[in-house]
Chains A and B, each alone.
Chain A
């Protein structure tokens, strides 16, 4: 068990560019979550998958954000036409199906939009 893996660790991009992040969850975990965290705040829910199905999306997730989890394994989060307000740490987490199963987080992808 190598834990939750996220790539890249850091991403610097110019405003208006598209970026894509990848998350590899713990292999037997069927739930995968994406969170966003900014300085001084807690992780903020974006979306989650159970296997390949995207079950819930936050109202905060604009149309510029899209996430996929093909075949129920790894997941990608794409942000189109990035804005400076998108600068944040993007965290991926996985778990077995609830109830009472804890989240295991990756190290995150730090996005800076210039």
Chain B
């Protein structure tokens, strides 16, 4: 049973435009959410996180939005750069485990 879902397997955007990656979850006990970026043959690297007490967290070009009532979070990247091309995983924590989505492959076209 997939508790964290990323329904878009892939996304292509033009360089300089906004990339929006979406994630939905089902477990209301999740209280901490993270985004990871992964290149082929490497482990995921942490990008940005948000606690359930917030609805927005920003770090440079990356912003994560959390809508608890909809059990939805999104990652905004603006402006998108070719180096952002990677697979992005959404993750959620219930203080014991981290649960990951299936990933969205982002391609930023120069």
Contacts and interface: CB of A to CB of B under 8 A. Distances in A.
Interface residues of A, number: 26
A42 B98 contact: no
Contact of A41 (B36, B45, B91, B102): B102
A56 B95 CA distance: 12
A104 B36 CA distance: 10
Contacts, number: 65
A98 B96 contact: yes
A4 B43 contact: yes
Nearest to B31: A99
B100 A99 contact: no
B77 interface: no
Interface string A69-108: 0000000000000000000000101000011101111111
A91 B95 CA distance: 19
Residue from B32, B34, B91, B96 with most neighbouring chain A CB atoms (10 Å): B96
Residue from B51, B89, B93 with most neighbouring chain A CB atoms (10 Å): B93
A103 B9 CA distance: 23
Interface of B: 4, 6, 9, 31-32, 34, 36, 41-46, 49, 51, 89, 91, 93, 95-103
Interface of A: 4, 6, 33, 35, 40-45, 48, 55-56, 91, 93, 98-100, 102-108, 110
28 contacts: A4-B43, A35-B100, A40-B9, A40-B102, A41-B102, A41-B103, A42-B4, A42-B91, A42-B100, A44-B100, A45-B98, A45-B99, A48-B97, A55-B96, A56-B96, A56-B97, A93-B98, A98-B96, A99-B32, A99-B93, A100-B32, A100-B51, A102-B49, A104-B46, A105-B44, A107-B41, A107-B42, A107-B43
